[in-house]
Structure 1
Amino acid sequence: MSQGWSAAVGVGVGVGVGALVAWAWRRSALPPDSWEEVGVVSELVVYPLKSGRPLYVQEAEATEHGFSVGPHRDRSFIVILKEGSLVTGRQKPKLTFVTVKIDGETATFEAEGAEGHAKVNLQMVTQEGEARDADIFGAPVKGVDCGDEVSRWLSEFLYQGRREVRVLYRHPELDRRVARHEEREFPQILDTDKVIYADVSPYHLITESSVEELNTRLEKPVKGNRFRGNIVVRGSKPYDEDDWAYVKIGEVVFRMLRPCDRCSFPTVDPETGTKDPAKEPQQTLKAYRILKSPEKLAKLWATSPLFGTILGIDTCGTVSVGEKVLVKRISRNPKWRYWR
């Protein structure tokens, strides 16, 4: 890890370079490439609809595209405006109220405060649905249109019928989006990394201790669901996840691609469907979790505080709540790089 990155992370999380040195000294008896236990999985979360309500599960299949629980696959549906632009909870916080439940070949869309519900026959959609192009923050994606019933229902719920939205479903035969390279600054992102409709990567990890530490700085504490992690870890030190190059849960091995730079989405309370008027916790995070160096990354993330990590996957398999979380550390593997 470069001196610039190490110092920047140290200042950002309040542990400092000296603490990183102390970590390395305390672990000097361990082989540099050994696994270290840091905590346990406290939550596993699947988001069938991008920006929609979460599905909390006790066990999930970790696939190359993200978590899968039966027919529910992480972020396999998206909402777009008729002209093709993406709709997320950033623009429409009420989208966080929308639940997708799949039974057999039927996906049911419903939401707190919405009138009625909408059903989608997934078999019919995948066989006969119209293929559409869309865009996820500059990355082109494809999907099949889920039809007029869910379009009318969701248009009414989100826009009172004044604008038309369409719901797209990931068709297994359409091209799959490869995780974005961000101008190839992040060598841990490989051409083989795949994703459906998540922003950058199929897995996002947060820790309970980092949320708890953040809450000591806030007038109004927030819940971890503001950050929409797929994997939540209990028992680690605050922001220790910054130092995890690899994460192992059971036989599944994840690879850190880069820290997670935060947009305004955490200001949306998913329990009320509203944005925080004080723009919290984003404003507080900016006070101590903004990257200072290296210069190119600092410029890229000048207004985006870092919180949590985004992961690729090297070994697929089953993960469960309660399993031990093992890691290999960046600070003990000096040749490992977040960026080039």
Structure 2
Amino acid sequence: MLRLSALYRYPLKSGKGESLQSISLDKLGLDGDRRWMLVDEASGRFLTQRAVAQMSQLSALWNADGGLTLSAAGRTPIDIALPTRDAELRGVTIWRDTLRVPDAGAEAAAWVSEFIGKPTRLVQVPLDRARTTQSGYGKDDDQVAFADGFPLLLIGQASLEDLSQKVGRPLEMLRFRPNLVIEGSEAYAEDGWKRIRIGDVEFRVVKSCSRCILTTIDPQTGERSEDREPLATLQKYRSETDGAMFGQNLVNDGNGQLEVGMPVTILE
């Protein structure tokens, strides 16, 4: 029997993940997932662990009112309110997308700038300013917040175990930053799924996930592995035209509630 064995949310793009027991879904995936992002103050270009590895040590917890609590070792935590409708809009760039989204204000900017080590702004994306998903996949009206391309990422537990065996050491699931982890399937079974249901919510499987250098960063310490694992191994046996693939991107059709332990049904 397939079941949902873990749920993870990442309130701040490229910040630490939260392990959850239950969560609701909206048009952009898990409620509160990657709705906040750090950007370079001068250019508006998004910042991630790819270039700023210490972001792996930045904790960002979602507040009940939609705000954010940021904390890091040696730093006093800061509570940041959800920007109001009349908040200043800032032009930002994430991959090939440019958009204008609410800025979290000067106090938040001072805190994140000190943490990053250069002038940085914190921005938030409301539902009515979300991006469309990667062209050529899914439906024209599919939307995404600040995730790279799609609202949700799914990985099978057996797939991680197979990769760990090939690398020769246990790998943390959080290296791959999934939202949904499925237990009970064979390794890489998710590669063949097109539609699934968890609880009362249906999901479309739209695209395999191409992995990058971020997978080599230890989520506990923020240090990069000197042997480039597990990316080096993935490149040996999971390479396709778009890169080394691991996990599947999903879009949820409709809202609802997810809870760890729910059965998973393969519809197609």
| TM-score calculated relative to the size of structure 1 | 0.75
Moved more, 139-148 or 204-213: 139-148
Task: Assess, with a 3 A threshold, how the Cα gap between structure 1 residues 239 and 106 changes in structure 2: closer, same or farther.
Answer: closer
Is the Cα–Cα contact under 8 Å of residues 253 and 316 in structure 1 kept in the other structure? no
Code of the residue aligned with 1:249 in structure 2: it is I
Give the structure with the larger helix fraction: 1
Corresponding residue for residue 314 of structure 1: 253
- Aligned residues of 2:8 and 2:18 also touching (Cα < 8 A): yes
- Identity across the alignment (%): 30
1:170 pairs with 2:125: yes
Distance 1:105 1:318 in 2: 17
Q: Which residue does 1:90 correspond to in 2?
A: 50
For these two proteins, the number of residue pairs brought into alignment is 266
- What's the secondary structure of 1:132's corresponding residue? strand
C-alpha contact 1:41 1:322 (8 A) present in aligned 2: yes
- Answer yes or no: is the 8 Å Cα contact 2:196–2:264 preserved in 1: yes
Correspondence 1:290 to 2:229: no
1:58 to 13, 18, 21: 21
CA distance in structure 2 between the partners assigned to 1:105 and 1:241 by the alignment: 32
**Partner letter of residue 10 of structure 2?**
Y
The structural deviation recorded for 1:100 is: 2.3
Structure 1 contact 107–120 (Cα < 8 Å) conserved: yes
**Deviation for aligned residue 1:263:** 1.6
Aligned to 1:179: 133
| Alignment check: 8 A CA contact 1:204 1:309 kept | yes
Amino acid in structure 2 at the alignment position of 1:47: Y
* 1:127 equivalent among 85, 92, 96: 85
- Describe the superposition over 1:131-185 as per-residue Cα deviations: whole angstroms up to 9, x where unpaired: 01111111223321111222122222222xxx10100011344x3211011xx3x
Root-mean-square deviation (Å): 1.5
* Correspondence 1:195-206 to 2 at 5 A: 195-206=144-155
Partners of 1:80 and 1:277 in 2: how far apart?
28
Q: Determine the structure 2 residue equivalent to 1:248.
A: 197
Question: Which residue in 2 is equivalent to 1:75?
Answer: 34
5+ residue gaps, structure 1: 1-37, 292-297, 330-340
Alpha carbons 1:40, 1:322 under 8 Å: kept? yes
Kindly name which structure, 1 or 2, has the bigger radius of gyration based on alpha carbons: 1
Find the aligned partners of 1:273 and 1:318 in 2 and give their Cα distance: 32
Amino acid at match of 1:133: G
Alignment TM-score, normalising by the size of structure 2? 0.94
1:210/1:306 Cα in 2 relative to 1: closer, same or farther (>3 Å)? same
- In the other structure, the counterpart of 1:272 is 221
Aligned residue number for residue 2 of structure 2: 39
Distance 1:114 1:146, change over 3 A: farther
1:323 corresponds, among 237, 262, 266, to 262
